[in-house]
Structure 1
Amino acid sequence: MARRVVSSIIALVLLCLVPGTSWGQPGAGDYELPPTVNVRARVLEILSTQPEPGGRDFITERQLVRVVITSGRFRGRTIEVEHFKSGHPVYDIEVSPGDRVVLLVELDGDELGTAFIESPQRDPYMMYLAAGLLAVLLAVGGVKGAKAALSLSVMVLVVVYVLLPLLLRGYSPIPLTTVVAAALSALALLVVSGPNRKTLTAITGTTGGVLIAGMLAMKAGAAARLTGLSAEEAQMLMFIPQGIQFDYRGLLFAGIIIGALGAVMDVGMSVASAMAEVKRVNPEVTPPALFRSGMNVGRDVMATMSNTLILAYTGSAIPLLLLFMAYDTPLIRIANLDLIATEVVRALAGSIGLILAIPITALAGAYLLSWKASERGGDRIRRIQAGRER
């Protein structure tokens, strides 16, 4: 039965992945894409550098760069590119011979038009890190590590090809993200630990903790009048060509649910694994004693994991915090900014959901791991005694 459940969940996820790329992209044919293409290239040489006195049109330097295209249908073509600098480190890209860059090329029919250096090539280094993560998972975790890598890959695919396209179609973010988060936790834990009561215990605790985090964030966000538009990317969604009227506050809470999922899943599986081990060593342990064991382990986990989300969000906000400190911004102003209030609600709601996942997991484990245990234990003892008498 458990294998059928696992097969059904995996089949459902794969079924969602296929249509996600087609019906998940709203209005794909409703507007004409600009005639541009991104290609990889390698810098061959800097042909000339011309300073612009006075910074006309905010351009302080023009370079003529020769590059060779290394990807796409124009691979192998050598072209000359005008590269502009403004003197602003955020926008300027320093290039030298041998550098690998990404070009934005305007197409003139089927031929190359004007090209610009858009960015350095960063994705190879991300791939190196991903390969390093996979190698460490396999070296340290063995089969378990391979399963963890598989579950991580599937989770990324579901988010990219199911959750995001459906959000882009205008589906309500909160119920959609709740269903996806529950499915992701179930799928990941089933892949890692297999279909058993320990896994079901962890799924129950994870789902409960994530739902609590989402509902708490929704209530607190509504009371604090969070707009969901504090991030620049959220504001840019107002002008996308599909013209979708997003529920921006719902998108904020959806992000909180997804952001808390990994940490809550970690807590749920840690508590469930400890309880399953206690049950294996002592099959006759009572449900109350098993619950206490789960809570004891959970408290130890909580002591470290409760800081995880808060430190993660704090680390991402260090430049902003330095800015506040540099300008001696009053605390009352900082605390009431939409951006800051959003991050505080995100961190605290996720941490509360993480902590409450511990008793939920312990309670579920006390019931699931002890279900019919006394009858099985009694039958086992009676069979052993009968064998000794014979």
Structure 2
Amino acid sequence: MKKYGILSISIFILLIYAFTGDVYAQSIEYLRGKVIEITSEDLDLDFGGGMSGDVQYFKVEVQSGELKGQILELENTSFGDEVYDLWFEVGDRVFIEVYETDQGFSGHVVDYQRDIYLSILLVVFLVIIILIGKIKGIKAIISLGVTIILILKILIPMILRGYSPFYMSLLTAFASTLITYIIIGGFTSKTIGALAGTLVGLFLAASISFMISGLAHIKGISGDEINMLLYLPTEINLDLTGLFLGGVIIGALGAVMDVSISISSSISEIKKNSPMISFKGLFLSGMEVGKDIMGTMTNTLILAYTGASLPLLLIINAYDFSFTRMINMEFIAIEFVRAMAGSIGLIAAIPATALTTAYLMTRKEMKKDV
């Protein structure tokens, strides 16, 4: 048990590094601070040109860097934009960008500090997994850490260096699936069966999304984040269509893995408790389990993509677009292809997993019969 404790601590450190390592390395100019006093607030000021807004004057105590302990007097302007405006209260923890002026140091608030609360949430998540799952929970944490590191330290950097997002996503998905299954179940017939089902499902999801994106002229350019990628400070021309296809693969990976390992584990348990069961019996049992899982997991995928697109759906409904106009909008088409391709891949994983696992579990008996 001791070695698993060491592993869990190690993977926790890797998770923190994966989430925050690059952020802190690239954000040295941003200092932590705490709002200690609201000096004054001027509301409904006229800025001319029909613009009005509110101005807030406050003091911030710097809590990191060479200026730690110093008090800065800052101001903040709000124009009534709920998305981008900030409005502070005493006690708020913030990030500030500091610069030197003739009168000393000044700066402005960049954003709230959120990493503290996210770290607390992460610790709670890890503790619950370990308490409920014990050794298997620790293995789940290790596999999660490996997946996060593969994405943040390999997939994303390789894409930014100009490698194909589509093929890099496929390789990342394969590596993540293989490592996760080996960590959780070891190199067994159950693992090989689940791996085969996952790969079949992902390959089908990738093939369908690739084909439909070409036929439907889906470029993958949708949303502010994608548009911002067009202006990255790099000479690399990102393949946005490949990025969309890679997103389909990564998005479907979790659900397909879940279905495959559930079916494979069920078949393994059935074989353990009924050693004389035939290949056909195991296969049909796996299919029945898969059918029960299929409905909920397909809903999970579709609801996840719908939830991500909910603001866009509200806008479309508010402006009363027709169904024909709506379904032909690229960002709707993108989410539709993601949901459908992922769901088809998930469904295809069911017979592939059941067939492979049932064969591996009964191959010795089948050879004896021959």
**Aligned mate of 1:204, from 178, 193, 196:** 196
Which residue does the alignment assign to 2:171? Answer: 179
CA contact (8 A) 1:211 1:353 kept: yes
**Aligned mate of 2:66, from 53, 57, 73:** 73
1:4-43 mapped onto 2 (5 Å cutoff): 37-43=29-35
The 1-side partners of 2:259 and 2:209 are apart by 20
Q: CA deviation at 1:312?
A: 0.7
Which residue does the alignment assign to 1:61? Answer: 54
Deviations 1:276-315 (A, max 9, x none): 0111112222222211111111111112111111011111
Q: CA deviation at 1:40?
A: 1.5
Which residue does the alignment assign to 1:87? Answer: 80
1:99 and 2:89 are equivalent in the alignment: no
**Aligned mate of 1:195, from 165, 179, 187:** 187
CA contact (8 A) 2:165 2:243 kept: yes
1:278 and 2:270 are equivalent in the alignment: yes
CA contact (8 A) 1:177 1:254 kept: yes
CA contact (8 A) 2:31 2:96 kept: yes
Q: CA deviation at 1:73?
A: 3.4
1:118 and 2:110 are equivalent in the alignment: yes
The 2-side partners of 1:172 and 1:323 are apart by 33
The 1-side partners of 2:75 and 2:305 are apart by 40
Percent identity over paired residues: 39
Rate the CA distance shift 1:369–1:75 in 2: closer, same or farther, 3 A: farther
SS in 2 for 1:53: strand
CA contact (8 A) 1:36 1:106 kept: no
CA contact (8 A) 1:309 1:351 kept: yes
SS in 2 for 1:136: helix
The 1-side partners of 2:283 and 2:74 are apart by 67
Partner amino acid, structure 1, of 2:63: T
CA contact (8 A) 1:36 1:107 kept: no
Partner amino acid, structure 1, of 2:175: A
**Aligned mate of 2:338, from 326, 332, 346:** 346
Which residue does the alignment assign to 2:125? Answer: 133
Rate the CA distance shift 1:232–1:112 in 2: closer, same or farther, 3 A: farther
The 1-side partners of 2:104 and 2:90 are apart by 22
The 2-side partners of 1:222 and 1:106 are apart by 49
**Aligned mate of 1:166, from 133, 158, 164:** 158
SS in 2 for 1:81: strand
Which residue does the alignment assign to 1:152? Answer: 144
Number of equivalences: 349
Deviations 1:163-204 (A, max 9, x none): 000000010121211111011011111111222111111111
1:306-345 mapped onto 2 (5 Å cutoff): 306-345=298-337
Partner amino acid, structure 1, of 2:84: Y
Rate the CA distance shift 1:55–1:336 in 2: closer, same or farther, 3 A: same
CA contact (8 A) 1:59 1:84 kept: no
SS in 2 for 1:370: helix
1:303 and 2:324 are equivalent in the alignment: no
Partner amino acid, structure 2, of 1:293: S
Q: CA deviation at 1:337?
A: 0.3
Which residue does the alignment assign to 2:5? Answer: none
The 2-side partners of 1:183 and 1:107 are apart by 48
SS in 1 for 2:187: coil
Larger Cα Rg: Structure 1 or Structure 2? 1
The 1-side partners of 2:80 and 2:295 are apart by 48
Gaps of 5+ in 2: 1-13
With the length of structure 2 as denominator, give the TM-score of the two structures: 0.88
With the length of structure 1 as denominator, give the TM-score of the two structures: 0.83
The 1-side partners of 2:296 and 2:47 are apart by 53
CA contact (8 A) 2:162 2:236 kept: yes
**Aligned mate of 1:50, from 24, 29, 42:** 42
CA contact (8 A) 2:73 2:106 kept: no
The 2-side partners of 1:343 and 1:52 are apart by 41
CA contact (8 A) 2:45 2:52 kept: no
- Measured on the aligned residues, the alpha-carbon RMSD in Å equals 2.6
Partner amino acid, structure 1, of 2:67: F
Deviations 1:134-156 (A, max 9, x none): 12211211111111111111111
Partner amino acid, structure 1, of 2:91: G
The 1-side partners of 2:343 and 2:261 are apart by 16
The 1-side partners of 2:201 and 2:181 are apart by 15
Q: CA deviation at 1:210?
A: 1.1
